[in-house]
Amino acid sequence: MAYRFPSDEWVKALCKTLNESEAYAEAAKNWEGDFYFIIEPDEEFKETAYLYMDLWHGKCREAFLATDPSVKDPVFKIWAPYGTWKKVILGQLDPIQGLVTRQLKLKGDMIKIMRNVKAANELVKCCAKVETEFAA
């Protein structure tokens, strides 16, 4: 079944995929921290969407589409226009290269990020495993 990106169903499907991934569990075993993945509007997608994920020691504890972003104050925030996220999910943009070139922007504890690049990679691999239907 395909899940529309971005949506509550999509982020919950990603959460399930992460929890089933041994590679993610291993790579992120030391990870503690929650995220907002912020999808900014562009030509294809006209709203701002906040996908919340609570990632804890290789597992996803909670995930939802936040209709009101003030409900959570996560430790990390990654944001980019919709089209950039689409490229990441489709495997057309390496997420780390996306971050280095600032196509994706990141705020949070950089010490933690630099120790967990492998976990970030595995997380994105899991995104690609979620059957996704795009808005456009």
Partner 1 sequence: MWFFRSPVIVYGDDALFHLSQLQGRKALIVTDENILRLGFVQKIEKYLHDAGIETHVFSEVEPDPSLETVLKGKALAETLNPDWIVGLGGGSCLDAAKAIWLLYENPQLDPRAINPFEELKLREKAKMIAIPTTSGTGAETTWAVVLTDRAEQRKLSLGAPVNTPDIAIIDPDLVMELPPGLTASTGMDALCHAVEGFTSIWHNDFSDGLCLQAIKLVFEFLPRAYQRGKEDREARAKMHYAATLAGLGFINSMAALAHALGHSLGAIFHIHHGRAVGLFLPYTIEYCANAGGTRYGEIVRFLGIPYQDEKEAAAILVGKIRELAKSINEPLSLAEAGIPREEFEKALGKLVENASMDATINTGTRIPSEKETEKLFLYAYEGKSIDF
Residues 6+ apart with CB under 8 A from 21: 122, 125, 126, 129
Residues 87-126 that bind partner 1 (CB under 8 A): 94, 96-97, 99-103, 106, 109-111, 113-118, 121
The contact pattern for partner 1, residues 53-92, with x = CB under 8 A and - = no contact, is ----------------------------------------
Residues 9-48 that bind partner 1 (CB under 8 A): 23, 26-27
Pairing assessment for the beta strands 49-56 and 59-66 based on DSSP bridges:
antiparallel
Provide the minimum distance between the beta carbon of 23 and partner 1 in the complex, in angstroms, as a whole number.
7
Size of the site for partner 1 (CB under 8 A): 22
- The H or E element containing residue 44 is none
Residues 6+ apart with CB under 8 A from 76: 33, 34, 35, 36, 106, 107, 108, 109, 113
Interaction site with partner 1 (CB under 8 A): 23, 26-27, 94, 96-97, 99-103, 106, 109-111, 113-118, 121
